[in-house]
Amino acid sequence: MLCPFCKVDDDRVVDTRITDGGRTIRRRRLCHGCGKRFTTYEKISEDMGLSVIKKDNTRVPYDREKIISGLEKACYKRPIAAPQVRLLADRVEEDIFQHSDKEVSSKFIGECIMDHLKDIDKVAYIRFASVYRQFNDVSDFIDEEGLQEKTNQQNKEQNANGTGSDSGQDSPAQ
């Protein structure tokens, strides 16, 4: 493996770990040329023939880097580290591959990204939603925020009701 620091092809693996539920192998390497350590990842080739159906019904090959690029733009200057963005992309990718094996709509991908992003950072979520849903003015932002608040309230109520039903008692909302 070529060292990213000194470009020498002389290293050894000092640690190997399986990540992402067995889909990725992480290797820590030590360069004999400069003595620095670096990390490499081995992953199954993503060229599995998955096509994305765009809004205009054209089909393009699936490209993980487009997801990462969109996430990086949404998370720009937010307290979200690059590894967290990659982990988020992994989660989105898992949803995509569980949903379909040949074709997936861009709408499904966008919704998956927003579902995961809203749990991590609200500002990044709104940024992504503003581009994905093509917001035209401030009222679109307000509508999206209202929708989020309503969804959050429904989730809280469902969790509260679920907790009450586990104990065998009726919840106050019933």
Which residue from 86, 77, 73 is spatially nearest to 132, judged by alpha carbons? 73
Judged by DSSP in three states, 173 sits in coil
Q: Is the dihedral of CA 49, 54, 58, 60 positive or negative?
A: negative
Judged by DSSP in three states, 16 sits in strand
DSSP β-bridge partners for residue 61: 51
Q: What angle do CA 19, 124, 22 make, to 5 degrees?
A: 10
Judged by DSSP in three states, 30 sits in strand
Cβ contacts of residue 113 below 8 Å, gap of 6+?
Answer: 67, 70, 71, 88, 92, 128, 132
Q: Note down pLDDT in tens along the chain; length 174 residues.
A: 899 999 999 999 999 998 876 778 899 999 999 999 999 988 766 556 789 999 999 999 988 899 999 999 999 999 999 999 999 998 898 888 888 878 999 999 999 999 999 889 989 988 888 887 776 666 666 666 666 666 666 666 666 776 444 444 444 443
Stated pTM of the model: 0.58
Judged by DSSP in three states, 41 sits in strand
Q: Running DSSP on this structure, what letter comes out for residue 82?
A: H
Residue-level pLDDT at 152: 61
> What tokens were used for 121?
């950072």
